[in-house]
Structure 1
Amino acid sequence: MILYPAIDLKDGQCVRLKLGDMDQATVYNADPAAQARDFAALGFPWLHVVDLNGAFEGRSVNGTAVEAILAAVSPAMKVQLGGGIRDMAAITNWLDKGIARVILGTVALRNPDLVREAARAFPGRIVVGIDARGGKVAVEGWAEASELGVIDMARKFEDAGVAAIVYTDIDRDGVLKGLNMPATLALAEAVSIPVIASGGLASIADIRAMLAPEARVLDGAISGRALYDGRLDPREAMALIAAAG
């Protein structure tokens, strides 16, 4: 299992949103590169970065901050990036700059053929982001709801060669309710693609739940507010994961 610390970028700053609402943003660090260095120093192997402005605008907005993060942690820490990446040029640009994996969300719903094309061109470096509210896929920075169910969406990419699926329960994101394990496990059991849990991770109890035998099918989990608020001790979490093998 991999624990991914999260850096969400809004207006060049490291923030956390509540329920995906851009008007409910808490700034945790005005220097995202410094925050990335802190996470790298703790020994996290991966970093999960989202360009929130980009997700709403459909293009990279916080590119300068992302490049600063890359400069601060590469090559010790791998970075996966999502938010506003909507075409092959943007995908290629970020992978060429040193991003290890790009996350495609809105475009995965709007243009699944692009995901397939990218996965063929960049094996192991394309991730599908599935964000859901009430079990239905949401896009455009979570501002628009679709009628497509999470599992139906995931199955569209079963044979595409994507590296993973990041599944976010929007109703839990940023409010520390705990991971939605039933829905996340149902998704992981329905597809062969590795699934990364996101949204609501609140404490070491969630890490233990992820390490339970029935949850070993999951690839990892993303943590944001719990790390920033001190509710999750990163060293304790990493030690628990290491001990579990």
Structure 2
Amino acid sequence: MILFPAIDLKDGQCVRLKLGDMGQATVYNADPAAQAKAFEDQGFEWLHVVDLNGAFAGESVNGAAVEAILKATKNPVQLGGGIRTLDHIEKWLSKGLARVILGTVAVRDPGLVIEACRKFPGKIAVGIDAKGGKVAVEGWAEASTLGVIELAKKFEGAGVSAIIYTDIDRDGILTGINWDATIDLADAISIPVIASGGLASIADIVRMTMPDAKKLEGAISGRALYDGRINPAEALAILRGDLKPAPGLFEERA
């Protein structure tokens, strides 16, 4: 089970948004590369990066910051935001990304995702961001009529390495991950699912260890790490099974 620390990039800085609103951004580090190295030093083994400006622009905007991150950390990095073409994908993979995350284009052109999986096996993840149960696109600025599971099933058997499922209604407000919807998605498909949006406390970390959640690849944490609500050493020890959490934080789902 992987805990992915998140670096969201806006105007070259490491920020967190509230409910996906670019106007509600809190800057946590002006040096994203230093933040990437700090996460590595804390014991994390992966890094989740989003080019927020790129998600709205439809092309990479914070490329210099991403390249600095890749140079600063030995950890594998997955990147989303503004990656819309096979050329975009090939460019980023050639720079050392472990995998790219396709979001808007997965809705607009599912065939491109399938072709990318064929051309770059094991390197393609799909980001499904939902608001009110429907898939959102263009940096969460537009809602579609697609359901989450409906979209995910389009990629069964295509070779997608992971589905990153974000509940926008919870993102950045520390209310806890939408575990029911996330696990329902994982139950409906064979593609590994990564939970995102709202991870709030060590209780969410404990929830990741419950039997019904063990099918997930992991979860992404942003604000809770930056605000100190989660102690990295404690969280990673719980996920490794080296530390037994206090009982009663979460009841197992029936």
**TM-score between the two structures when normalised by the length of structure 2:** 0.95
Unmatched 5+ stretches in structure 1: none
Unmatched 5+ stretches in structure 2: 244-254
For 1:79 and 1:159, locate their aligned partners in 2 and report how far apart those are by CA, in whole Å: 24
**Cα drift, residue 244 of structure 1:** 6.7
For 1:34 and 1:134, locate their aligned partners in 2 and report how far apart those are by CA, in whole Å: 36
Equivalent position of 1:44 in the other structure: 44
Task: Please state whether the residue corresponding to 2:235 is helix, strand or coil.
Answer: helix
Within 5 Å, which residues of 2 pair with 1:140-151? 140-151=138-149
Residue type of the alignment partner of 2:202: I
Task: Please state whether the residue corresponding to 1:85 is helix, strand or coil.
Answer: coil
Equivalent position of 1:86 in the other structure: 84
Residue type of the alignment partner of 1:112: P
**Cα drift, residue 159 of structure 1:** 1.5
Give deviations 1:118-176, integer Å, cap 9, x for gaps: 10111111000000001000000000000100000000001211000000000000000
Q: 1:205 aligns with which of 203, 206, 212?
A: 203
For 1:188 and 1:217, locate their aligned partners in 2 and report how far apart those are by CA, in whole Å: 7
Within 5 Å, which residues of 2 pair with 1:147-162? 147-162=145-160
For 1:244 and 1:163, locate their aligned partners in 2 and report how far apart those are by CA, in whole Å: 28
Equivalent position of 1:125 in the other structure: 123
For 2:129 and 2:242, locate their aligned partners in 1 and report how far apart those are by CA, in whole Å: 28
Equivalent position of 2:26 in the other structure: 26
Equivalent position of 2:4 in the other structure: 4
Q: 2:216 aligns with which of 215, 218, 240?
A: 218
Q: Does structure 2 conserve the Cα–Cα contact (< 8 Å) formed by 1:211 and 1:244?
A: no
**Cα drift, residue 243 of structure 1:** 1.1
Residue type of the alignment partner of 2:123: R
Task: Please state whether the residue corresponding to 2:241 is helix, strand or coil.
Answer: helix
Equivalent position of 1:170 in the other structure: 168
For 1:187 and 1:32, locate their aligned partners in 2 and report how far apart those are by CA, in whole Å: 32
Give deviations 1:41-100, integer Å, cap 9, x for gaps: 112110000000000000000000000000000xx2000000000000000000000000
- Count of residue pairs the alignment pairs up: 243
Task: Please state whether the residue corresponding to 1:138 is helix, strand or coil.
Answer: strand
**Cα drift, residue 182 of structure 1:** 0.3
For the aligned residues, what is the CA RMSD?
0.9
Equivalent position of 1:64 in the other structure: 64
**TM-score between the two structures when normalised by the length of structure 1:** 0.98
Task: Please state whether the residue corresponding to 1:8 is helix, strand or coil.
Answer: strand
> Which structure 1 residue ranges, 4+ long, deviate > 3 Å from structure 2?
none
Residue type of the alignment partner of 1:18: K
Residue type of the alignment partner of 1:51: D
For 2:46 and 2:83, locate their aligned partners in 1 and report how far apart those are by CA, in whole Å: 19
For 1:234 and 1:128, locate their aligned partners in 2 and report how far apart those are by CA, in whole Å: 26
Residue type of the alignment partner of 1:194: P
Give deviations 1:160-215, integer Å, cap 9, x for gaps: 11000000000000000000000000000000000000000001100111110111
For 2:68 and 2:216, locate their aligned partners in 1 and report how far apart those are by CA, in whole Å: 31
Percent identity, aligned pairs only, is: 72
**Cα drift, residue 23 of structure 1:** 0.1
